[in-house]
Structure 1
Amino acid sequence: MTDNRDNDNLTSTDNSFGKLPDHLLIEIFIRVPVLEWAKVSCVKKQWANLFHGECLWQAALVRTFPLASQDKRWPGPIPRELSKRRFAALYVSKHIFALDDEIDEIVGHTYLFLKEQLELSTMPPHSGILHGTIIADQFIACGKSRDVTHELASQIWLAVLDNLEENQHTFLLLKRLALEGDVFLPFPYSRSIKVQWRVFEKLFTDFRDCVNHADYYDLLAMAKNEFQPIPSAWLGY
């Protein structure tokens, strides 16, 4: 009996929503909490198509971030892309970064770009990604000062490192970042000491079981060369 009632409810709901035109469905969906959108898009193919289209994301962008300019000039090497990407960038800027209550779309785009390049690439990232020069170029192209560029790049690196999945790919990436930490780059392109510290901290804590005997002593020697003193938690293989 319970199953029949549930099926009747689902059929009734499906028929009711099935009669609504797409523009009304969009107006309903963009009022649902963002964290539920993935579940909503899986209910039926029609709804999934709406979440893959531009119209829903354009409406969500206007509703959620009404002050986001549609015609703002967008210089720099990192693409702005369409409404779905813009919504994601603004959402990231608002919920991951604390920038004096300011929502900076550039920060969100840069975070998404760096995270994807580091996380999804099957080949080692090229030097412009690995050393963060593309990040700095983006902020400079958008009119940020050198000091602001360096600080924002540092915040983005820290946020990305904290949100990478704990897997073999990330371990190899962190190890490469640690081993290439002494590459000289002029300010503001150089990674901050806070970023380098976080790289070693994750290697010696989150990924400690992945580090073999030889790598441990190589990494420890580099850590001692960069940081004095180093935490006792990093010691002992």
Structure 2
Amino acid sequence: MEEERSKATLLSLDYPFVKLPDHLMIEIFVRVPFSDWGQVSCVNKHWANLFREECLWNAALVKCFPLASLAKRWPGPIPRGPSKRRFSALYASKCILQLDDELSEIAGHTYLYLKEQLEISTMPPPSGILHGTIIDQFIACGKSRDKAHELASLIWLAVIENMEDNHQTFLLLKRLAFEGDVFLPYPYSRSYKVQWRIFERLFTDFRDCFPQSDYYDLMACAKQRFQPIPAAWLGY
């Protein structure tokens, strides 16, 4: 009861903190660790609305990624998006992809694009189309075919690593494994590392999810692509 009364006091209209103007509230929020923003935005409706506004995310970009405003040109098929998406892209690039160069924001947007497309619950686009879009994005930025292939592989691996262990991920990985890249020319074929990681997750993280027929079909597919097959994939 005491804790509830304290919360009520904090959120009451008489409490000085809630009387601060929005621009000062935003300056405070952008100095709070990013990992706590979800909790902060749930305190009350007004704070939640502030986290939906471009003003807060513009301030967050300036505070956390001051060089981001210098990027003017935005080539390629993957859109840039508003300030909130830009912040998410830069955060993903720094914390997940471990990139901090002139391509970091583009790589972050590409990571978000691939992750969102693969997580479409009904029917994601074919992986060849998605991979081709990523390759075209980096080639449009002036990167060589080899560099585009390297960056695309980095993004694919990061997305695969960060998928949750659930039934939807199992179905998605199984579909990616069976699709393959047999008829796609370089650099539009996914790298060996990406294909390996798809099968590795299936045979280790989701081994118990397979119907027997699917398991043998997928194992036959794996044996055509990889030699030797790791013992862990075989269950021992």
User: TM exceeds 0.5?
Assistant: yes
Normalised by the size of structure 2, how large is the TM-score? 0.92
How far apart are the structure 1 equivalents of 2:33 and 2:127? 39
The percent of aligned pairs where both chains have the same amino acid is 71
Superposed, 1:113-152 pairs within 5 Å as: 113-130=113-130, 132-152=131-151
Cα 1:216–1:128 change in 2 (3 A) is closer
Partner secondary structure for residue 201 of structure 2: helix
Cα 1:147–1:14 change in 2 (3 A) is farther
State the number of aligned residues: 235
Q: Partner of 2:85 in structure 1?
A: 85
Could you give the per-residue CA deviations for residues 66-118 of structure 1, whole angstroms, max 9, x where no partner exists?
1113551111111101110000101111111234x536111100000100110
How far apart are the structure 2 equivalents of 1:168 and 1:122? 13
How far apart are the structure 2 equivalents of 1:13 and 1:33? 26
Q: CA deviation at 1:4?
A: 7.3
Q: Partner of 1:161 in structure 2?
A: 160
**Aligned Cα RMSD in Å?**
2.1
The aligned amino acid for 1:107 is: A
Superposed, 1:202-221 pairs within 5 Å as: 202-221=201-220
How far apart are the structure 1 equivalents of 2:211 and 2:50? 48
Q: CA deviation at 1:191?
A: 0.2
Could you give the per-residue CA deviations for residues 141-187 of structure 1, whole angstroms, max 9, x where no partner exists?
11111111000100100000011122222111111111111432111
Q: CA deviation at 1:127?
A: 4.9
How far apart are the structure 2 equivalents of 1:176 and 1:146? 26
Q: Partner of 2:101 in structure 1?
A: 102
The aligned amino acid for 2:43 is: V
Q: 1:114–1:129: 8 Å Cα contact kept in structure 2? A: no
How far apart are the structure 1 equivalents of 2:135 and 2:217? 30
Could you give the per-residue CA deviations for residues 169-227 of structure 1, whole angstroms, max 9, x where no partner exists?
21111111111114321111110000000010011011111111111111111111111
Q: Partner of 2:58 in structure 1?
A: 58
How far apart are the structure 2 equivalents of 1:113 and 1:32? 27
Normalised by the size of structure 1, how large is the TM-score? 0.92
Q: 2:90–2:105: 8 Å Cα contact kept in structure 1? A: yes
The aligned amino acid for 1:188 is: P
Q: 2:11–2:18: 8 Å Cα contact kept in structure 1? A: no
Q: CA deviation at 1:8?
A: 6.5
How far apart are the structure 1 equivalents of 2:123 and 2:107? 25
Partner secondary structure for residue 101 of structure 2: coil
After superposing on structure 2, the runs of 4+ consecutive aligned residues of structure 1 that deviate more than 4 Å are 11-14, 127-130
Could you give the per-residue CA deviations for residues 102-137 of structure 1, whole angstroms, max 9, x where no partner exists?
36111100000100110134223245545x111111
- Structure 2: where are the runs of 5+ without partners? none
How far apart are the structure 1 equivalents of 2:3 and 2:127? 58
How far apart are the structure 1 equivalents of 2:24 and 2:196? 50
Cα 1:148–1:61 change in 2 (3 A) is same
The aligned amino acid for 1:26 is: I
Cα 1:127–1:5 change in 2 (3 A) is closer
Cα 1:124–1:85 change in 2 (3 A) is closer
Q: Partner of 2:184 in structure 1?
A: 185
How far apart are the structure 2 equivalents of 1:123 and 1:14? 51
- Structure 1: where are the runs of 5+ without partners? none
Cα 1:223–1:11 change in 2 (3 A) is closer
Cα 1:217–1:15 change in 2 (3 A) is same
